[in-house]
Structure 1
Amino acid sequence: MSAMQGILLMAIGSLGASSFYVPFKKVKVWAWESYWIMQGVAAWLVAPLLFAWFTIPDGALFQVLADAPDKPKWLAIMFGALWGIGGLTFGLSIRYLGVALGQSIALGLTAAFGTLVPPMVNPDSSLSWVLILGVSICVAGIAVIGYAGALKNKSMTEEQRKAAVSEFALKKGILIAILAGVMSACFNFGLEAGKPIEVVAQSYGTNSLFLKNPTLVFILWGGFVTNALYCFFLNIKKGTYRDYFQSGGKVFFNNLFFTFLAGFLWFLQFHFLGMGQSKLPPELSVYGWSILMALNISFSNVWGIILKEWKGANRATMVLLVVGIIVLVASTFVVNIPS
């Protein structure tokens, strides 16, 4: 039963993460780089500190951060910076492919690399047949959804594609999504590297549900730096730094609200990942990453339907899409198979 509780907790976070791009529809005037880094302030700086502050007893967050060993902290920051490249290109993949197809390709590769690599490089771990089976089913579901996306693209006119995703660019979007998927897997590497930080948090009486929260602070600091450098570079190059000062008070606070809402929705996936993994059997906790990615893809494709990104696709394509989502959801239940 604890595994099912873990999956349900991760599903809550996944629902937030797969919905995070929706508030951007309400952002006015600002260029992509401006609203992307503003959601990053909420997702990568504000939210991690707030959630860690409220979940570590007696306001001991900064003592935990100070007492944690230096090597895990720097590794978490380094992997966070590498993940930041994936997070940055992840946003671009959605920009060019849409919520459904962009997240399916990027998150699918993230699921495979992020789940399989840590036990392969960790001498204390090993790849179980359950883990390999679960990831294989997940990848099969992604392949079905990707094929459905290719069929949709083939059956739609250029005007229909642009109506569904205004900056649609299939080849460029797929290349960016592949880079995003591989680099985004570094987030899970950061979580693995940060396990000694969890030990320190536990020594301060932190509930096992929230032990990953201090590590998230370090990973997301690294990710923020990577994204900020690129976005501010674009702000200066394109002159869009004026977005923050010349958009008018009403527009500014509208955009601030919706970008911060997007950022907090995005962060929920990792807060609930930590909670969900604490409910999984120890030998299968590494599979939590794959579960989260599978759920993210499933929910993002539901949003793709709601946002009419699949409008114009024929019935066979929609059937393939639904089959792919079902396969992905089924992959999350493999953790209930006895090891």
Structure 2
Amino acid sequence: LTFGLGVDMLGLALGFTVIIGLAASAGSLIPLLVLRPEKLFEREGLLTVLGLTLVMAGIGLCSWAGKLRSEGPNPSLVPQKSYAIGLTVCVVSGLLSSCGNLGFAFGSEVVMKAIQEGAPETLAGNALWALITIPLFFFNLAYTIWLFSKRRTGTLFFAKGTTHYWMLGATMGLFWIAGFVCYAPGARSLGALGVSIGWSIMMSAMVITANLWGLLTGEWRGTPRRALEALAGGIAILIVAICVVGYANQG
């Protein structure tokens, strides 16, 4: 819910960047501190923390780029809502979104039960996603029904020519959950710090993709050169962050 509201207020590139960036940081650091505190000052832990620091730096630079964009010559390209309110919603959404990885990190009993019931060990972690995502579905469904009632727009979903949008929505949902299905075995294969390293890599990749997509769709067209330079710098830092946390798992 807060994800959609935040992106609507700040735009795809900036809103997605802030939300996923904070989700990556909190979702990676908390499992490290709670489950593997002895690793914090070892090589793996130090490199992971360095990578997360770079993630936050990249997020900060992308956020600054969004602020510069809002001051550009084309205000029509910027969502007409308060930047401060939008940023606050995105921060809250990012912190709440980190709970997905926290559930994965601290849900070992569910994983073990799935294995006992015959699930392959590499896929057993996916049993957690049902517990995590089903409540989210009903919460978002309730809010959607409320909006339909308030705005009387429910019939628009069945208007002529909307089939294309139904297909796009379904495709987006399938791709979204497919990413998490792949994440479960990937994180387990990364070793002791898998839930921290894997989560930060996946979230950073999502941020980079969102920003590149925002550029391709024209969201940043007509914005000041400084904003584009800041955005490019933020993306570059995030790429370096992925390399650092990946290297943390070597040796």
Instruction: State the TM-score, normalized to the length of structure 2.
Output: 0.87
CA contact (8 A) 2:32 2:193 kept: no
Among candidates 117, 121, 130, match of residue 217 of structure 1? 130
Number of residues of Structure 1 aligned to a counterpart in Structure 2? 245
Q: Is the 8 A contact 2:68 2:226 kept in 1?
A: no
Question: 2: CA distance between counterparts of 1:268 and 1:307?
Answer: 24
The superposition leaves residues 238-293 of structure 1 with CA deviations (integer Å, 9 ceiling, x where unpaired) of 2233334xx34x43533322211121122222112113213313234422111111
CA distance in 2, matches of 1:252, 1:157: 30
Q: Which residue of 1 aligns with 2:58?
A: 141
Q: Does 1:242 align with 2:152?
A: no
Match of 2:196 in 1: 286
Q: Please provide the CA RMSD for this pair.
A: 2.2
- CA deviations over 1:109-160 (Å, ceiling 9, x no partner): 1111111122334477753222211111111111111111112222233234
What amino acid is the match of 1:319?
E
Once the 2 structures are TM-superposed, how far is the Cα of residue 294 of structure 1 from its aligned partner?
Answer: 0.8
Other-structure match for 1:153: 70
- Which aligned pairs between 1:58-69 and structure 2 lie closer than 5 A? none
2:139 counterpart residue number: 226
> Paired residue for 1:117?
30
Deviation at 1:321, TM superposition (A): 1.4
Q: Does 1:311 align with 2:221?
A: yes
Give the alignment partner of residue 169 of structure 2, picking from 242, 253, 259: 259
Q: Distance in 2 between matches of 1:174 and 1:238?
A: 25
Against the structure 1 CA distance between its residues 256 and 159, is the aligned structure 2 distance closer, same or farther, given a 3 Å change threshold? closer
1:182 counterpart = 2:92:
no
SS of the equivalent of 1:305 reads: helix
CA contact (8 A) 1:145 1:321 kept: yes
Cα deviation, 1:166-222, whole Å, max 9, x if unaligned, reads x55423321211111111111112112322222223334544432221111111111
Q: Distance in 2 between matches of 1:205 and 1:243?
A: 45
Query: 1:299 Cα shift?
Result: 0.7
Question: Identity over the aligned pairs, expressed in percent?
Answer: 27
Question: Separation in 2 of the partners of 1:153 and 1:253?
Answer: 34
2:247 matched to 1:336? yes
| Structure-2 separation of matches of 1:121 and 1:281 | 16
Q: How does 1:30-49 map to 2 (within 5 A)?
A: none
**Any stretches of 5+ residues in structure 2 without a counterpart?**
none
Quote the residue 1:326 is aligned against: 236
Query: Relative to 1, partners in 2 of residues 1:323 and 1:123: Cα closer, same or farther, differing over 3 Å?
Result: closer
How far apart in 1 are the matches of 2:36 and 2:194?
Answer: 16
Residues 36 and 193 in structure 2, CA contact (< 8 A), matched pair in contact too = no
Does the CA contact (< 8 Å) of 1:98 and 1:168 recur in 2?
A: no
Partner letter of residue 184 of structure 1? S
- Residue 226 to residue 121, structure 1, CA distance change in 2 (3 Å): farther
* Distance in 2, Cα, partners of 1:195 & 1:310: 43
Q: Is the 8 A contact 1:131 1:284 kept in 2?
A: no
Q: Is there any run of 5+ residues in structure 1 with no aligned partner, and where?
A: 1-87
Asked if 1 retains the 8 angstrom alpha-carbon contact of 2:101 and 2:195, the reply is no
Provide the TM-score with structure 1 as the length reference.
0.66
